[in-house]
């Protein structure tokens, strides 16, 4: 007797050069939270897009309550009671929350919208499930968490019974994550069936009943969460053992590589300075981590260091040389490498090929150009070497358009480019954001390798675990000031939290003792 509400059997979906889903089976029971786990690019989102009718699979069938169904577009999915919260929200920014919720299923009389009717239903739903939103607020003016609640209401408004959440926690703050997980549990209790796509093991252990694991487009297995462990799941996902503890030797700091004195950076958002009179230095052979809650001046500080923004006062020295007024190319050439916070905006040219992206920092060097003409042979050779050395996976190798690559591999491409170039200092801003455990381990190892090669590493991170595990020295930033310098071996997450929230500070002397 099977009591599956949805079954996806033998699904195969191909894209040019890549098999995104290779004979995958997924069975969802009524009233359960079923996690779908896999690394970036494992085919989770593709599989869900198939279920939601955005893609048509080459092979395989979908059954609802045992009967074969055809899902050719989102309307069909909706008719079957399937709803989805997409990873990148599908909300029209200039519309109100209400308009977004009713879009596509507008209550109307002869084509004229009947908004008050819809508003009543939305308010009822949001009260019933504790999803607080203002139906008349414009989407572009509300927080990410509220946008997500709007997306969830969109499904509830359509009376969907099967809810797909595509990496719902990736963009949320810790509190919001707790809330959404509770909400999901509530839905399951009510008899709704939930598919939860994620690569965060902690969340799966917390809420899921069962978990299906994909790896590189293939079905690996389905397990009951009660009978499994985090380690086992990660092994299924990555195909090998993953250490959650970062292995590294004690650091041996040498000479000062970067020294920042009294740096002040104006804010673009408000009238105050985003970075206020900050001084610190980083030595060769150590990883210094800048910890803090998002929006406390990290971005502006990094932008001033890398040249993306101008500092209003203060000096930045790289290897004794004043670079405060140098342009970006000059900073890069004098030994600064940068893994930017926003890899799509500042890290890659998404429409370019992989090989072109890999030489972005050095296409002007003699090796790669002559008289303004690019030496494509050398570029190809160089790209092939980096792809091999740094294990960058893509559909078509060096000629893959970067936009089509998975997030983890895009990040690998940036890391390869920045680490392979001559550098003394590596600035890595949230380098593991949005990556899965395998890729995170990879990034951490690369950072430590860079440190062990005698370079200075400046890591900006919002993740406490990362801060404590990877760094050799922690600087805490709060409202644009460095409020503490801590030793990761002696501090605790709780203490770090106090500094990050501004409740505690030890600036001045200790911070300057490092000199």
Nearer to other proteins, 195 or 290 (CB): 195
CB of 425 to other proteins, least distance (A): 35
- The terminus-to-terminus CA distance of the chain in angstroms comes to 71
CA–CA separation, 310 and 303 (whole Å): 8
Nearer to other proteins, 105 or 246 (CB): 105
Nearer to other proteins, 52 or 280 (CB): 52
CB of 76 to other proteins, least distance (A): 8
From residue 201, give the alpha-carbon distance in Å to each of 355, 451, 463: 33, 28, 15
CB of 248 to other proteins, least distance (A): 37
CB of 90 to other proteins, least distance (A): 4
What Rg do the C-alpha atoms of the chain give, in angstroms? 25
Q: Which chain residues interact with other proteins by CB under 8 A?
A: 15, 52, 54, 73-75, 78, 84, 86, 88, 90-95, 99-100, 102-106, 108, 111-113, 154, 403
Q: Are 477 and 243 in contact (CB under 8 A)?
A: no
Nearer to other proteins, 95 or 352 (CB): 95
From residue 141, give the alpha-carbon distance in Å to each of 53, 95, 144, 147: 30, 10, 10, 10
Nearer to other proteins, 13 or 473 (CB): 13
CB of 367 to other proteins, least distance (A): 34
Nearer to other proteins, 100 or 251 (CB): 100
CB of 111 to other proteins, least distance (A): 5
Nearer to other proteins, 1 or 94 (CB): 94
CB of 351 to other proteins, least distance (A): 11
Q: How many CA atoms lie within 13 A of 358 on its CB side?
A: 29
From residue 1, give the alpha-carbon distance in Å to each of 65, 368, 420: 11, 65, 57
Neighbours of 221 (CB within 10 A): 10
What phi and psi values does residue 269 have, to the nearest 5 degrees? -95, -50
CA–CA separation, 424 and 208 (whole Å): 45
Cα-Cα-Cα-Cα torsion 365, 403, 407, 361, nearest 10 degrees, comes to: 10
CB of 38 to other proteins, least distance (A): 17
Nearer to other proteins, 3 or 70 (CB): 70
CB of 162 to other proteins, least distance (A): 15
What phi and psi values does residue 62 have, to the nearest 5 degrees? -115, 135
Question: What length does the chain have?
Answer: 515
CA–CA separation, 403 and 180 (whole Å): 30
Nearer to other proteins, 155 or 467 (CB): 155
Helix (DSSP H) and strand (DSSP E) numbers for the chain: 17, 24
């Amino acid at each position: 007797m099977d009591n599956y509400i949805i079954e996806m059997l033998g699904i195969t979906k191909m894209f040019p050069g890549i098999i995104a889903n290779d004979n995958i089976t997924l069975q969802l029971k009524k009233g359960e939270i079923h996690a779908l786990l896999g690394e970036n690019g494992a085919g989770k989102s593709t599989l869900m897009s198939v279920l939601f009718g955005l893609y048509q699979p080459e092979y395989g069938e979908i059954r609802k309550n045992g009967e074969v169904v055809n899902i050719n577009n989102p309307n069909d999915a909706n008719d079957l009671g399937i709803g989805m919260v997409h990873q990148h929200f599908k909300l029209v920014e200039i519309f109100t929350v209400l308009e977004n919720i009713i879009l596509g299923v507008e209550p109307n009389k002869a084509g004229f919208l009947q908004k008050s009717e819809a508003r009543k239903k939305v308010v009822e739903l949001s009260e019933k499930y504790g999803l607080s939103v203002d139906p008349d607020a414009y989407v572009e003016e509300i927080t990410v968490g509220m946008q997500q609640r709007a997306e969830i209401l969109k499904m509830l408004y359509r009376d969907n019974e099967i809810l797909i959440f595509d990496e719902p926690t990736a963009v949320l703050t810790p509190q919001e994550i707790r809330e959404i997980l509770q909400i999901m549990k509530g839905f399951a209790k009510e008899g709704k069936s939930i598919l939860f796509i994620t690569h965060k093991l902690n969340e799966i252990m917390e809420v899921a009943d069962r978990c299906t694991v994909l790896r590189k487009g293939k079905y690996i297995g389905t397990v009951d969460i009660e009978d499994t462990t985090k380690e086992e799941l990660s092994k299924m996902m990555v195909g090998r053992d993953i250490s959650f503890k970062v292995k590294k030797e004690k650091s041996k700091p040498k000479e000062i590589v970067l020294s920042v004195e009294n740096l002040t950076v104006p804010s673009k958002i408000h009238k105050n300075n985003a970075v206020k009179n900050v001084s610190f230095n980083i030595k060769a052979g150590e990883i210094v981590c800048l910890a803090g809650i998002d929006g406390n001046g990290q971005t502006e500080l990094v932008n001033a260091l890398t040249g993306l923004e101008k500092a209003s006062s203060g000096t930045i020295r790289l290897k004794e040389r004043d670079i405060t007024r140098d342009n970006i190319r000059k900073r890069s050439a004098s030994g600064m490498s940068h893994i930017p916070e926003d890899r799509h905006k500042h890290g890659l040219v998404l429409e370019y090929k992989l090989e072109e992206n890999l030489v972005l920092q050095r296409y002007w060097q003699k090796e790669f150009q002559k008289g303004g003409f690019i030496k494509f042979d050398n570029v190809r050779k160089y790209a092939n070497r980096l792809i091999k050395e740094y294990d960058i996976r893509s559909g078509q190798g060096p000629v893959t358009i970067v936009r089509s690559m998975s997030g983890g591999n895009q990040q690998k491409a940036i890391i390869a480019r920045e680490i392979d170039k001559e550098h003394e200092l590596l600035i890595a801003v949230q380098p593991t954001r949005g990556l899965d455990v395998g890729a995170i381990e990879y990034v951490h190892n690369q950072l430590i390798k860079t440190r062990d090669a005698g370079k200075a590493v400046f890591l900006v991170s919002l993740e406490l675990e990362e801060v404590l595990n990877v760094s050799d020295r922690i600087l805490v930033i709060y409202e644009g000031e460095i409020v503490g310098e801590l030793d990761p071996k002696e501090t605790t997450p709780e203490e770090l939290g106090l500094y990050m929230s501004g409740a505690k500070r030890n600036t001045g002397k200790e911070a300057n003792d490092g000199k």
